Amino acid sequence: MKIIIRFLLLFFLLGGCSLSGKHIEREDSSDWNISQIISEAFDESSQDGMLVAAKRKIDDRPLYVESAIIMYKSNDLWRLAHVFRHPEVDNTHRKNWKVVWRSHFFLLGFNDYKEKPSGADIEHFLSETEWHKDLGAQWKILESTTQY
């Protein structure tokens, strides 16, 4: 037991996945920059982006997560994407927006469409990327919005 406690203490002292410990003002999703999200998640730029849905949540570790469904025009196609980030961790890579994916059943968090996605397309995408999935008792939802 002492070895585990020493390891955890050393792990946090060296900065492995620790929170910064300082108070951070959390942005509402209305303050998120869609161009920044597209750039970080896809290494593309688009002026035709919009936030379709947003979710901010925290669990008992605490781990704070921001998630979004975005829609934007990429070349000649429209893209719906489910992206996320961990803005409060001391790790630059994890602070950036990334596309959701799960390898255990190969879920890729974006779809491309020839035409601008309809409300039915968006609902189907939300279902496919598990946007409405029950998060369990350990998660507290701080914000959940849809704008389509």
Tens-digit pLDDT profile for residues 37-83: 999 999 998 878 999 999 999 988 888 999 999 999 988 999 999 99
Q: What percent of the chain is modeled with pLDDT above 90?
A: 43
Strand spans (E) along the chain:
50-58, 64-74, 77-85, 98-99, 101-102, 107-108, 110-113, 140-146
Q: Report yes or no on 19 lying in a domain.
A: no
CA-to-CA dists, residue 25 to 11, 36, 55, 58, 98, angstroms: 26, 19, 16, 14, 21
User: Running DSSP on this structure, what letter comes out for residue 117?
Assistant: -
Structure-token pair, residue 26: 């959390």
Q: Report yes or no on 22 lying in a domain.
A: no
Q: Report yes or no on 15 lying in a domain.
A: no
pTM, two decimals, is 0.77
Q: Report yes or no on 2 lying in a domain.
A: no
Mean pLDDT for all residues in the chain: 80
User: What is the arithmetic mean of pLDDT over 116-128?
Assistant: 93
Residue 106 region by backbone torsions, left for phi larger than 0, else alpha for psi between -120 and 50, else beta: left
Q: Residue 53 in contact with residue 40, Cβ under 8 Å?
A: no
Q: Report yes or no on 114 lying in a domain.
A: yes
In which domain, by residue range, is 100 found? 34-146
Q: Report yes or no on 24 lying in a domain.
A: no
Number of domains observed in the structure of the chain: 1
